Amino acid sequence: MAGEKSFLRGYSMVLHSFLMYWIYGTLIGGGLSVLVAQYCGMTGLNSNLVTSVNTVGGFLSVAMTFLIGRWVIARGVRGITAFSCIGTAVGLCILGNGTSLGIYILWSVVSQGLYNGYSFTATNALIANWFPRKKGWVMGITTAGMMAASFTSVLFITVYSPKIGFTNVCYFLAAVIAMLGVVSLKWIVDTPEQCGLLPDNMPLTEREQQEFGGGTARQDWTARNLIGSKDGMCYIVGFGLLFIATTGGITAFVPYMLERGYSQVDAVGLMSLTSLFSLAGSFIMGVLDTRLGTKKASLIFAALYVIGYSGAFALTGIDKLFLLPLWLAMASGGANANLMASTLVSQYGRANYASVWSVLFTGASLIRNLCYLLIGAIASLSGTYARVYLFWGIISAFSFVLLAVSNFKYRPAPQN
């Protein structure tokens, strides 16, 4: 039965999703390189080694990506969000008291295993439920939370770790994240129907009933149907490579700035400035998704990576000027999370979103988890992080081709 109508509570799901992506940006996105630097400063470990072992945590956590997707289908978003936030907070406390590489690997498994429970998988399912037609610009807002982390929580880690200690900084962030997890139990409403509202607050046409009717818990597509199709494989490889370029672009940023002679504080400051551009870029890409369609927006996104990352490498020898193409690429970085979700809503509809996501995003995550290994290997073998960005430009060009030949239109489930 529909509950009492509440527009304020309904649209507060956007704010909640923004905050969940803020946690992701703090711990997995832009904040990862800063956490690594502070942990290495506390323990004396080699930063390249610590960065590369995130690959281990990533691969071990892939199973969690699939399992969290199943949880969302069976029980909704509320419980897994609270569980993931609280589990992440506990892991952060352990990290703050760590003394070895083993503790960091444990943190990597916990943080990367649970991030889908509060951000990508759970949050995107929530937005798909609430805004299936306006998903583009809404996700442009929610994913901007990742960039907002760079000039808030990530800057906090950088400035206050030397003052109050990395351990206390971890305790503070853990308390905030745990609090958001607890609040989520009362805050989250899985579907607008539970508030007596409609998706996008608009009546559904007959055609839209087929695409957007019901929740996101149907499972009309099997894993074999999805992985065995051209579009499924184009999604896994195409967006998987763009996911590498997105995660790798922000993860390698601070080490690259340090390599070029900037101080730690200045490097994080530049990353914060970059994130301001990305904040606007995320929303603009969301608008393009809504206005031009998801496929055209995805191709523009991939093209900006090719131009920006390759251009940054080409201008490596010119101080400060190399930042311009790098900013061009990273300004659109928040669109990765937006477009990965928006594509599946467009292709498979609202009702099958969660089940399809749990399969295809798991595949893309397998590819994305090569990111940290690639950063360590390319930087070590070439002696510079500049070639890391060149590699991101090359794989983005390959992604562009894969997405160009993919069909982004809605298709009904096969008759098995």
Tens digits of per-residue pLDDT, 159-200?
999 999 999 999 999 999 999 999 999 999 888 878 778 777
Those residues whose C-beta lies under 8 Å from the C-beta of residue 367, and which sit 6 or more positions away, are: 236, 237, 240, 241, 243, 244
H helix runs in 28-165, sequence order: 31-43, 47-52, 54-60, 62-75, 78-96, 101-118, 120-130, 135-142, 144-150, 153-164
For residues 290-323, one letter each, b for 16 or more C-beta atoms within 10 angstroms of the residue's C-beta and e for the rest, the string is beebbbebbbbbbbbbbbbbbbbbebbeeeeebb
Q: How many Cα neighbours within 13 Å face the side chain of 131?
A: 23
Q: How many CB atoms lie within 10 A of CB 414?
A: 10
- DSSP-assigned letters across all residues of 335-402: HHHHHHHHHHHHHHTTTTHHHHHHHHHHHHHHHHTTHHHHHHHHHHHHSSTHHHHHHHHHHHHHHHHH
Tens digits of per-residue pLDDT, 307-344?
999 998 888 878 778 888 888 888 777 778 889 888 98
Global pTM reads 0.83
Q: What would the 3-class secondary structure string for 191-203 be?
A: CHHHHCCCHHHCC
Q: pLDDT at residue 32 above 90? A: no
Q: pLDDT at residue 56 above 80? A: no
Q: Do residues 78 and 84 make contact, with C-beta atoms less than 8 angstroms apart? A: no
Q: Do residues 81 and 13 make contact, with C-beta atoms less than 8 angstroms apart? A: no
Domain 7-188+215-404 in CATH 1.20.1250.20? The answer is yes
Tens digits of per-residue pLDDT, 232-288?
999 999 999 999 999 888 888 888 888 888 888 888 888 878 878 888 888 888 889
Place of tokens 């009362």: 186
Percent of the chain predicted with pLDDT > 70: 94
Whole-angstrom Cα distance, residue 245 to residue 238? 11
